[in-house]
Structure 1
Amino acid sequence: MKDQQLDEILRMARLTAGKLKGTITPEEEADLAQWVARNKHNHQLFGEMQDEEYRSALLADMDRPDAETALVKMRARIKRYEKRRRRTQRRWRYSIAAAMVLLGGGASYFFLQKKPSPAPVPSLSVSAGQQDILPGRNGAILTLSDGSRITLDSLGNGIVARQGSTKAVLSNGSLSYTAEHGTAGKIGYNTMTTPRGRQFRLVLPDGSRVWLNAASSIRYPTIFTAGERSVEVTGEAYFEVAPDEEAPFKVEVNGTTEIEVLGTDFNVSAYPDEPDIRTTLLKGSVKVTGGKENRALVMRPGQQTVVAPGEDISLLKNVNVSRTLAWKEGRFEFSGNIRDIMRQIARWYDVEVVYEGDVSDRAYGGAISKYENVSRVLEMLELTGSIHFKIEKQTASGRAKITVRP
């Protein structure tokens, strides 16, 4: 079975769980509906997955000593049954359902890469009187062209601002812009900023859609003039650019890197506390210019450019797109050392992170919903047996503190 097909199954697993839990977004629900309608097998499987007894029976039938082993077995089972799908349709459907229960049903897994160890009882410590830390949520601050600021997560649906001939409209956690018919109007610039612990969606004046991750910002005009579409980004954002051959779309990243597209889907990560700027392409084609020599590279889907300070731009092929887009689809999908992982946790849960003792550079991997409380995420990491955490009450910075130690 091709990895692309497997990735689709795992993604549908997560969307099915979101549908059952009521946490699915409108865009995700549309994707799930399209998958269900694709053929009768998908439709029947989705119907069965609504039955709690059916899901429980599948879980009971899966002999899994730990989550990592279950994941490996599940992936192998799906690939093996795909080869015999025409002869053994029932087993094929069972394997997909098992995947949905394991990953879509809220299960999670973490492991210490290349060095498995017995799973001890987590020793997570929460200081007295300190409640658990809740996950981030939808929210952003909109700065208008006149400098006034609007906190979007405190408003209901409707018009939030009028600027010349354009209206900024809030609808179900997404901000969009509409221009009054027949008026050109003066161009102003808005900035959407997501604080730590917030994320938000934006529809630009040309219809391009943007998902903004925590601790990020995007600056853009309230009207795009003919032949020109340009925005500025910091932090992390995912773009679905509306095609327009007459007006290339440009993204300036941290003032050092430029991305130029005609119509495409891509992700850019450019946090100031990360070692580089990474652009990952999902669909279409983009040209990325940056690096020491300010060189330009044209990307294809599944590729990623890396721009690090003082170094030339580089191109990575066949990257893990699922991992790159995990934040947008409501989960953490880690692969790296504990400091890499904790930077993501700090931004989403808005916490301070400190380290005690010799915290190694061992590589960890794993996945879990980003809508779990932070204690759940840390407990799963502790199951590797090589790292421990302590959650303390708010510090002088106003944030809760997580101490990481061996």
Structure 2
Amino acid sequence: MSGDIFQAMTKEQLHSFLKDYSAGKYSQQDYTAFRQWLAAAGPEEQLEVLDKYGELLNGMPDTPSMDFRRIAMIENALNEAEQEKEEQPTRIVSYRRWWAAAAILVLFGAGTALLMNRLSKPPMVAQAPILPGRDGAVLTLGDGSQIVLDSLGNGIVATQSGASIVLNSGRLGYDQTANAQDGPQYNTLSTPVGRQFKVTLPDGTTVWLNAQSSVKFPTYFSGDDRTVIVSGEVYMDVAQDAKHPFKVNILRADKSIGTVEVLGTHFNINAYPDESACKVTLVQGAVMVSAGAAAGKTLLKPDQQAAISENQHISVQHANTESVTAWKNGYFDFENNDLTMLARQLTRWYGIDTKVMENAPETEFGGKISRNLVLQEMIKVLNQAGVHCRLENDKKLVFIP
């Protein structure tokens, strides 16, 4: 099949390509052309792709693991196409993206459930939907005053120590416009339940904050190193500066649990107090993790994760970095999650209470779904996939047998 047919592709040609694609019988040229077509297609056309592919899968033998890989191929193509079209590192909010994500959700429980039905039916949204989280944060300045960033427009929100604090398209940044007359002021950016945010620190380091998280940093870095303090869950893209190492002090339940030392790298920290351990996951570069004098220091390589226990013991294991950082890219990824872990993620994002009944299954799950679904839609998707839950009194999500 020649790639140029995608410029004016018919439904029959698309069907033929997807059939070859699902069987692994396609050329790199056709694959590249298909990604280009996806990038240029409108939402309705992309939904047709999912609808048609769903029909293909429905006609195949019942081999869930094979089906999951095939569906994931379409999702990967959508991801790559949109990344080429426009970078959206913090959130993916378009209609077609959450639809696509919902279409590929797979949860592995006592049995395997594939969510392929209702692909061609628009979702039924309750009249009073519980909305998902969104961009928003509170900035606490050095003098203790606070600025709620949720509803502010682009522009300068404050000035401290010669730095202009600028909000631009949901990202906070620091521009050093004048020489500081005194020492640096310390600012704290924090996200409540149901909020996420991104900030570029004075040295150029970018920090993504998940819900219920914080980062404390100076208005400009001075001295031999660059030190910040974090809590909750953050993803960091550290600006390289070999002469000034970057240090992250990790707080868990208001207590220092460990330190990460880097020169320039990408990594994720999950230090929520209700999780079993503080976890540092390295995506790129190298970091040194320490947790008190007794534990010593541990060097991490890419795709490794250090877990720091309450007694400050450090253990290292391999990590799926795509799964760990899915929240930053607009997804829940439930790989190796049990019900209580899944419930905690939903609590932080939707701002609701959750309860797991004692006789609910203790199975681990897998699969991903967009964080942009309203809660009622999330509940429908989970139930269709065999994870039984219901909303009680419009404020508590209960997982049942």
TM range (shorter): 0.7 to 0.9
User: Which residue does 2:108 correspond to in 1?
Assistant: 112
Equivalent residue runs for 1:128-207 within 5 Å: 131-183=128-180, 185-207=182-204
User: Which residue does 1:23 correspond to in 2?
Assistant: none
Aligned residues: 343
Q: Deviations over 1:29-64 (max 9, x none)?
A: xxxxxxxxx999636632355344476256425522
User: Which residue does 2:399 correspond to in 1?
Assistant: 404
Verify the 8 A CA contact 1:141 1:152 in the aligned structure 2: yes
Verify the 8 A CA contact 1:218 1:233 in the aligned structure 2: yes
- 1:330 is the counterpart of 2:330: yes
TM superposition shift of 1:211: 0.3
Verify the 8 A CA contact 1:64 1:70 in the aligned structure 2: no
User: Which residue does 1:64 correspond to in 2?
Assistant: 57
Q: 1:352 to 1:180 in 2, by over 3 A?
A: same
Q: 1:98 to 1:217 in 2, by over 3 A?
A: closer
Q: 1:53 to 1:228 in 2, by over 3 A?
A: closer
User: Which residue does 1:33 correspond to in 2?
Assistant: none
Verify the 8 A CA contact 1:49 1:55 in the aligned structure 2: no
Equivalent residue runs for 1:352-371 within 5 Å: 352-371=353-372
Q: Deviations over 1:120-158 (max 9, x none)?
A: x99xxxxxx982210000000000010001001121111
Unaligned runs of 5+ in 2: 1-27, 82-95, 119-125
Q: Deviations over 1:271-323 (max 9, x none)?
A: 01111011111111000001793321101111110011125201112x11111
Equivalent residue runs for 1:5-404 within 5 Å: 42=32, 45-51=35-41, 52-53=44-45, 56=48, 59-62=51-54, 63-65=56-58, 72-73=66-67, 75=69, 96=77, 105-106=100-101, 107-113=103-109, 115-116=111-112, 131-183=128-180, 185-254=182-251, 255-290=256-291, 293-310=294-311, 312-317=313-318, 319-335=319-335, 336-385=337-386, 387-393=388-394, 400-404=395-399
SS in 2 for 1:42: helix
Query: For the residues of structure 1 that align with 2:59 and 2:302, how far apart are their CA atoms?
Result: 35
Query: For the residues of structure 1 that align with 2:108 and 2:50, how far apart are their CA atoms?
Result: 27
Q: 1:378 to 1:48 in 2, by over 3 A?
A: closer
Query: For the residues of structure 1 that align with 2:79 and 2:400, how far apart are their CA atoms?
Result: 36
TM superposition shift of 1:113: 3.7
Q: 1:39 to 1:176 in 2, by over 3 A?
A: farther
Verify the 8 A CA contact 2:71 2:104 in the aligned structure 1: no
Q: 1:66 to 1:104 in 2, by over 3 A?
A: farther
For residue 287 of structure 1, what is the amino acid of its counterpart? M
Q: 1:245 to 1:61 in 2, by over 3 A?
A: closer
TM-score (norm 1): 0.75
For residue 365 of structure 2, what is the amino acid of its counterpart? Y
Unaligned runs of 5+ in 1: 1-37, 80-92, 123-128, 394-399
For residue 75 of structure 1, what is the amino acid of its counterpart? R
CA RMSD between the two structures:
3.5
Verify the 8 A CA contact 1:228 1:247 in the aligned structure 2: yes
Q: 1:161 to 1:41 in 2, by over 3 A?
A: same
Q: 1:70 to 1:179 in 2, by over 3 A?
A: same
For residue 52 of structure 2, what is the amino acid of its counterpart? A
TM-score (norm 2): 0.76
Q: 1:43 to 1:182 in 2, by over 3 A?
A: farther
For residue 225 of structure 1, what is the amino acid of its counterpart? S
For residue 315 of structure 2, what is the amino acid of its counterpart? S
Q: Deviations over 1:178-208 (max 9, x none)?
A: 1124445421101111000000000001010
Verify the 8 A CA contact 2:339 2:356 in the aligned structure 1: no
Q: Deviations over 1:326-382 (max 9, x none)?
A: 100001110211110010000000111123442232112221100001122222222
For residue 331 of structure 2, what is the amino acid of its counterpart? R
Verify the 8 A CA contact 1:199 1:212 in the aligned structure 2: yes
Query: For the residues of structure 1 that align with 2:341 and 2:348, how far apart are their CA atoms?
Result: 12
For residue 106 of structure 2, what is the amino acid of its counterpart? F
Query: For the residues of structure 2 that align with 1:368 and 1:207, how far apart are their CA atoms?
Result: 31
SS in 1 for 2:367: strand
Q: 1:54 to 1:328 in 2, by over 3 A?
A: closer
Query: For the residues of structure 1 that align with 2:79 and 2:274, how far apart are their CA atoms?
Result: 39
Query: For the residues of structure 2 that align with 1:367 and 1:78, how far apart are their CA atoms?
Result: 10
Query: For the residues of structure 2 that align with 1:321 and 1:356, how far apart are their CA atoms?
Result: 31
